[in-house]
Amino acid sequence: MTGWTEYTLALVIFVASHVLPRIGGLRDRLIGAVGRRVYFSAYGLLSLALLVWVIIAASRAPYVELWPQAPWTRWGPNIAMPVATMLVVCGFGLRNPYTLGGKRDAIVDPNDPGFAAVSRHPLFLALALWAGTHLVPNGDLAHVILFGSFTFMALAAIPAFDAKARRSLGPEATAFFKATGTFSLYPVTDRAWVRENARPLTIRATIGLLIWVAALHLHGSLIGASPFPF
């Protein structure tokens, strides 16, 4: 299998894995057969495995330079990725069923939005940060396609999911959107919010930072490229 063939196949299968379950009610039938928890656990693992394959396949594709890499451009991912990993860990299981990684059976409560007060879509923001900041130092065709497409999909998903929330919530949507944000640090100035959420979010944020440190030091051996800008 040539580099471009594997890369194209990996991209097609990754996209298909996100599109096909929504056709003809396939996802609902699978959830009915195995249960919501089993389905989303298996689907999450499959998506992660396919994402890893796409990244590896991109590194194997023929190198076609669109712009040269400058070492200073690596500062972008190094600054953004601690934020991205904290967003992922803090946002997983968010009390918002209208986003990636949110609890599907959660009851939307504008009076107690939890981390959704900071962001309704932390996983999409994390994906956009990861892809967007990795796009700049990776100017070869395969990685431009990879990171450019993921940046676009992540940013396009936010208004699409917000529109779905508005349709589903109806008159209650106004209060929900007022209590939450796309990304806002304003909640940390609210003493009541901090008192309610500080401890669990501090634990999650710490885990996110540890994941970033591990990824930073394993990046060279796993991906084959040093993340350090020197």
- Predicted confidence at residue 1, as pLDDT, reads 56
In tens, the pLDDT along 138-188 reads: 999 999 999 999 999 999 999 999 999 999 999 999 999 999 999 988 887
User: Does residue 100 belong to any structural domain of this protein?
Assistant: yes
Q: Which of 9, 34, 62 is the last residue in one of the domains?
A: 62
- Between the CA of residue 36 and those of 23, 27, 29, what are the distances in Å? 18, 10, 10
Q: Which of 43, 62, 81 is the last residue in one of the domains?
A: 62
Q: CB of 188 within 8 A of CB of 205?
A: no
Q: Which domain holds residue 53?
A: 1-62
* Distance separating alpha carbons of residues 122 and 166, to the nearest angstrom: 18
In tens, the pLDDT along 76-116 reads: 999 999 999 999 999 988 989 999 888 877 778 888 889 99
User: Does residue 230 belong to any structural domain of this protein?
Assistant: no
Whether residues 123 and 141 share a domain: the answer is: yes
Q: What does the mean pLDDT of the chain come to?
A: 89
For residue 75, give both structure tokens.
Answer: 């500062």
**Is residue 204 over pLDDT 90?**
yes
What percentage of the chain exceeds 90 in pLDDT? 56
Whether residues 52 and 94 share a domain: the answer is: no
**pTM for the model:** 0.88
- For every residue of 118-161, which 3-state class applies, written as one string? CCCCHHHHHHHHHHHHHHCCCCEHHHHHHHHHHHHHHHHHHHHH
**Is residue 225 over pLDDT 60?**
yes
Instruction: Return the CA Rg of the chain.
Output: 19
Closest by Cα among 100, 107, 111 to 162: 100
Whether residues 129 and 119 share a domain: the answer is: yes
User: Does residue 194 belong to any structural domain of this protein?
Assistant: yes
What percentage of the chain exceeds 70 in pLDDT? 99
Whether residues 57 and 74 share a domain: the answer is: no
